[in-house]
Amino acid sequence: MRYSGLLAMAAVAAGVVLSSATAKAGDPYWDRRDLRHDYVRADRLRNDIARDQRRLNDDLRWDRPRAAERQARDIARDERALRNQMRDIRRARRDLRHDYRGW
């Protein structure tokens, strides 16, 4: 009984901290902000792929096989990252849609 007041205050403090953390995680503003960052990253990856494709074409034109191989590996890596990013964007958009419907 001596520590029940202290224990109750600690439980309330923990509840406040956890509720604010979960409120931020489900907040549509934060979700939309994360989605915007995902789109920015996808655009950067597309620009990297286009730049690497131009370099690959130049390397093939000027007969630089090692540089062309390096560019092809870089393009493949960026394309995998872009596919993963687009999958994350689709999931985030789906989650936003469902959150607004109240599901």
**Confidence check: pLDDT of 101 > 60:** no
Q: Model-level pTM?
A: 0.69
**Residue 64, helix vs strand vs coil:** coil
Least confident of 6-15, 29-38, 51-60, 68-77: 6-15
pLDDT for 24 beyond 90: no
Cβ-Cβ contacts under 8 Å for 37 (sequence gap 6 or more): none
CA distance 53 to 51: 5
Question: Minimal CA–CA distance to 96: which of 29, 48, 40, 49?
Answer: 29
